[in-house]
Amino acid sequence: MSKYELAVVVNAQIDDEARTAAVENVKSLITRFGGQIGEITEWGKKKLAYEIQKMNEGYYFFIPFEAEGSAIAEIESRMRIMDNVIRYLCVKQDEA
């Protein structure tokens, strides 16, 4: 299994419960495809570099996890259609 970090930007215009539910959905996706989640870092509300879907702010979360390489495509394809996830980026971490 390789180590990855998933950066997720969640809609800032939703309430706390919906934001928590969006992050829980992402976590359940990772575990469904055999991933093991590390400690999640929440950066909070930040200004976006450019306007996305008429929004200027988003909540940032960083989720480190370990998973097989084949699981990444499945996770990303399902995140693409999540309602409150504005953007995401999954990066493989160096083994150093």
Domains of the chain: 2-86 (3.30.70.60)
Residue 39 banded pLDDT, cuts 50, 70, 90: very high
pLDDT(78) > 80 = yes
How large a percentage of the chain has pLDDT more than 70?
Answer: 99
Count Cβ atoms below 10 Å from residue 58 Cβ, excluding itself: 23
* Predicted TM-score of the model (pTM): 0.84
Q: Which amino acid is at 80?
A: R
C-alpha to C-alpha distances, 19 to 34, 39, 74, nearest whole angstrom: 24, 17, 22
In DSSP terms, 63 is beta-bridged to 6
Two tokens at 22?
Answer: 């969006």
